């Protein structure tokens, strides 16, 4: 067995390929079609041994479809980087990798084209003192919105909220706008955006925006909407009909009180002490400032039409000042394999540029069933990633099969037995 090179007290200049071999018995590796495969349960101290809800309380800021567990990203961060390294997730989602990197004294960077993903990553990776944040929140003056402003809210949004709560949501958004707002951002004018600290209160406004996203809709005692899903923004007509059929009422809430209670829970394990960074932008057009600066990539790109990310978050995007139709144009969501390959090639070329030589990149992707008139067939997304990565110069060292428990599947309560993702694969890439 090769020695694991990840020493906590000594940072290696180059991470050897033998580092991966040290985590798994070579006799357990299977070779198929010139690819090496292993199972996640075979890995030394695998993340599969962690409890389902393992991780820091901040990981629960918001539920979002298509997320991987904190234990998985922690496994690769702990074994393939050292303290003070730079860890990048170019498809940041709800900021799991960036947060876990900051929690382990790394510089976590999360990049995503979706505004709610950007906002969540930004909120999670800020060192925040709860008492100071509460003082800022209580000091905000909630000026009631005008009749014209209230009338301008789409009817689809009004279906979810009591009028008094909706007024508070608008008042909150207006109150923090001077310190933090995405509403001035245009995808055409600003393809990449990093929040600037415009005032000493920017961090607090950023943090409370993330907390707000997490309670905007759901079914908990702190959720602002009529009872519905936490993970995704449900279709308005469905919510309206379901609420009428089952006699659901829109709850009346005190917004500040709900935010403070939620923050108490989120910071139950403390705040991050190592500040990270969030970038609103495309993984196919990363900032040149990242070139040759990244020590590790841990990410999960779109699963080839498995999720409709923009529609799933349309209500959160409305709150942030975006139209989900505009967001959808920016997101990689296609059923055409050639288009998916082209997009991933563009990204992997960029990933190769930002990653330092001798470092690792781990891509978590799922097999997808594509239905055709002639029948259905399985697309092995990991093989697409592997092929395109090799063309970009990466070495494909191993593919790790990772079974997905049915209860962890996206929207599992509504899936039939033959539906849903049953297997993730982790593509282990190495830059020589």
Q: Would you call 141 exposed, middle or buried from its count of C-beta atoms within 10 A (0-12, 13-18, 19+)?
A: exposed
pTM of the entire predicted model: 0.90
Q: In this structure, what token pair is assigned to residue 31? A: 């070779």
Q: In this structure, what token pair is assigned to residue 348? A: 């992997």
Give the domain-ending residue among 244, 266, 288.
266
pLDDT band (50, 70, 90) for residue 421: low
Which DSSP string corresponds to 4-63? P--BTTB--SS--THHHHTTS-GGG-EEETTEEEEEGGGSTT-GGGS-TT-S-GGGGS--
3-state helix, strand, coil in the chain (%, to 5): 40, 15, 45
> Residue 246 to residues 154, 233, 242, 243, 279: CA-CA distances in angstroms?
24, 19, 6, 5, 42
Which run of H or of E encompasses 98?
A: helix 96-103
Assess whether 286 and 422 both reside in one domain.
yes
Assess whether 51 and 71 both reside in one domain.
yes
Give the span between the Cα atoms of 25 and 22, in whole angstroms. 7
Q: In this structure, what token pair is assigned to residue 118? A: 């950007």
60-84 in b/e form (b: 16+ CB < 10 A) is bbbebbbbbbbbbbbbbbbbbbbee
Assess whether 177 and 205 both reside in one domain.
yes
pLDDT band (50, 70, 90) for residue 23: confident
Structural domain count of the chain: 2
Contact status, residue 34 vs residue 20, Cβ threshold 8 Å = no
Which run of H or of E encompasses 204?
A: helix 202-215
What is the structure's pLDDT at 11? Answer: 52
Which residue bears the tokens 């960077």?
Answer: 109
Assess whether 109 and 145 both reside in one domain.
no
236-246 in b/e form (b: 16+ CB < 10 A) is beebbeebeee
Assess whether 173 and 93 both reside in one domain.
no
- Specify if 216 maps to a domain: yes
Residue 146 has pLDDT above 60, yes or no: yes
Give the domain-ending residue among 217, 242, 266.
266
- Specify if 271 maps to a domain: no
In the β-sheet with 355-366, what is the strand arrangement from edge to edge? 30-32, 35-39, 395-403, 423-431, 355-366, 294-299, 86-89, 107-112, 277-280
Give the span between the Cα atoms of 359 and 229, in whole angstroms. 39
Contact status, residue 303 vs residue 316, Cβ threshold 8 Å = no
Quick one: average pLDDT of 34-63?
Answer: 92
For 234-291, what is each residue's pLDDT tens digit? 999 999 999 999 999 999 999 999 999 999 999 999 999 999 999 999 999 999 999 9
User: Which CATH number is 83's domain given?
Assistant: 3.40.50.150
Assess whether 205 and 284 both reside in one domain.
no
- Specify if 125 maps to a domain: no
Which residue bears the tokens 């020493």?
Answer: 7
What is the structure's pLDDT at 82? Answer: 94
For 331-365, what is each residue's pLDDT tens digit? 877 778 889 999 999 999 999 999 999 999 999 99
The DSSP 8-state label assigned to residue 6 in this structure reads -
Nearest to 199 by CA among 228, 168, 176: 176
> Domain range spanning residue 213?
130-266
- Specify if 8 maps to a domain: no
């Amino acid at each position: 067995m090769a020695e694991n090179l990840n020493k906590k007290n000594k940072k290696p200049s180059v991470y050897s390929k033998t580092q991966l071999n040290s985590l798994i018995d070579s006799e357990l590796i299977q070779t198929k079609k010139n690819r090496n495969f292993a199972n996640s349960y075979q890995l030394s101290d695998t993340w599969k041994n962690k409890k389902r809800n393992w991780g820091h309380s901040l990981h629960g800021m918001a539920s979002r479809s298509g997320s991987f567990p904190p234990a998985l990203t922690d496994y690769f961060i702990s074994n393939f980087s050292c303290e003070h390294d730079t860890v990048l997730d170019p498809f940041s989602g709800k900021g799991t990798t960036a947060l876990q990197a900051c929690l382990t004294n790394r510089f976590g960077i999360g990049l995503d084209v979706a505004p709610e993903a950007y906002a969540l990553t930004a909120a999670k990776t800020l060192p925040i003192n709860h008492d100071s944040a509460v003082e800022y929140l209580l000091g905000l003056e909630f000026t009631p919105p005008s009749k014209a402003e209230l009338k301008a809210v789409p009817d689809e949004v009004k279906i979810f909220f009591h009028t008094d709560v909706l007024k508070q949501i608008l008042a909150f958004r207006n109150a923090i706008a001077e310190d933090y707002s995405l509403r001035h951002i245009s995808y055409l004018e600003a393809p990449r955006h990093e929040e600037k600290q415009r005032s000493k209160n920017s961090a607090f406004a950023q943090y409370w925006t993330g907390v707000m996203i997490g309670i905007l809709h759901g079914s908990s005692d702190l959720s602002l909407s009529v009872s519905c899903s936490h993970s995704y923004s449900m279709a308005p007509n469905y919510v309206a009909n379901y609420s009428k059929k089952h006699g659901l009422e829109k709850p009346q809430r005190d917004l500040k009180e709900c935010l403070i209670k939620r923050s108490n829970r989120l910071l139950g394990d403390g705040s991050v002490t190592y500040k990270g960074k969030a970038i609103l932008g495309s993984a196919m057009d990363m900032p040149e400032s990242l070139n040759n600066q990244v020590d590790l990539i841990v990410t999960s790109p779109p699963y080839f039409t498995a999720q409709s990310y923009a529609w799933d978050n349309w209500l959160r995007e409305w709150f942030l000042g975006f139209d989900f139709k505009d967001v959808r144009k920016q997101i990689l969501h296609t059923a055409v394999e050639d288009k998916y390959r082209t997009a991933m090639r563009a990204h992997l070329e960029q990933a190769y540029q930002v990653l330092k030589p001798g470092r690792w990149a781990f891509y978590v992707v799922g097999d997808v069933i594509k239905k055709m008139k002639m029948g259905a067939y399985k697309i092995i997304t990991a093989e697409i990633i592997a092929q395109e990565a090799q063309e970009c110069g990466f070495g494909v060292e191993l593919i790790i099969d990772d079974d997905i428990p049915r209860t962890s599947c996206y929207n599992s309560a509504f899936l039939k037995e033959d539906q849903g993702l049953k297997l993730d694969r982790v593509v282990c890439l190495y830059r020589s």
